Chain A
Amino acid sequence: MTITRILGWLAAIGLIAGLAAGFGYAPREAIQGNVQRIMYLHVPSVLTSYLAFGLVLIGSIAYLATRRAGWDRLAGAAGELGVLFTGLTIVTGSIWGKPTWGTWWTWDARLTSTAVLFCVYVGYLLLRSLIEDPDARGRYAAVVGVLGAVNIPIVHFSVKWWRALHQPSTILGPEPSPIDPAIGLALFVNWIAFTLLFVYFLSRRMEIARREEQM
């Protein structure tokens, strides 16, 4: 059994454990009720997209420095997954927003900056698909990958820098998290599951890209 297959099974087990933790173990939230359970999808999705775009940045800088195709494959695969998980973040956040804020969408700083992040990396993928020459594609995409990463701290700190409807960070913030331990554990299990799924997808996507380049 290859490492990728093992990762796939671990991700599947993790996702089942995440569902059990989110719907069985974690209590019903006192104020929002069951709709808060969307958090077990929404927060791991955004954390996974940060990881993905962080890897785009690393892959892009490393490609510009070394011109090794492997770094470009990493950046390209991570960019594709970043768009997938950012899309999930936006959709699940919108569905969560309707019953809690009374609207599917508002031009709040966090929502707007996340939408901009999504559009920048959709553009990154479009650029990659339009350039045939591998070295030119790698170089131009790497520049966009580096510039696009500027958006990540803007998204994360937007709730601090501007007055926003979106709540401030309850994890990855400077203060200790105020989350109930049972809810925090369910969130942690889902975050691990999403990270495993991301690594599995990344590994498969990079392998496909490697084999396509050999043809």
Chain B
Amino acid sequence: MPANWGYVIAAYGIAAVALFGYWRHLARRARAVAARPAAKGRRA
């Protein structure tokens, strides 16, 4: 059986991108939620 490291790296790379991407998405959304009342306050 050949080493097949390319497949292993591809699988772990895609998983890292997906999980890190979801973490970033949550962080962005949390920041947006936290900023919204402040924006309303400024308008008032």
A residues adjacent to B (C-beta < 8 A) = 31-35, 37-38, 41-42, 45, 84, 87-88, 91-92, 95-96, 98-99, 197, 201, 204-205, 207-208, 211-212, 215
Residues of A within 8 A of B15 (CB): 41, 45, 88, 91-92
How would you classify the secondary structure of chain A's contact residues: helix, strand, loop or mixed?
helix
Please tell me if B1 contacts chain A, counting CB pairs below 8 Å.
yes
Residues of B within 8 A of A42 (CB): 11
How would you classify the secondary structure of chain B's contact residues: helix, strand, loop or mixed?
helix
Partner of A91, one of B1, B11, B22: B11
* Chain B window 2-21, contacts with chain A (Cβ cutoff 8 Å), 1 for yes, 0 for no: 11110110111011001100
Contact (Cβ within 8 A) B3 A197: no
Q: How far is the CA of A35 from the CA of B15 in the complex (A)?
A: 15
Q: How far is the CA of A99 from the CA of B29 in the complex (A)?
A: 39
Q: How far is the CA of A111 from the CA of B44 in the complex (A)?
A: 55
- What is the interface residue range for chain B against chain A? 20 to 34
Please name the 6 residue pairs, one residue from A and one from B, whose CB atoms are nearest each other, closest first.
A33-B1, A35-B4, A95-B11, A38-B11, A92-B11, A211-B33
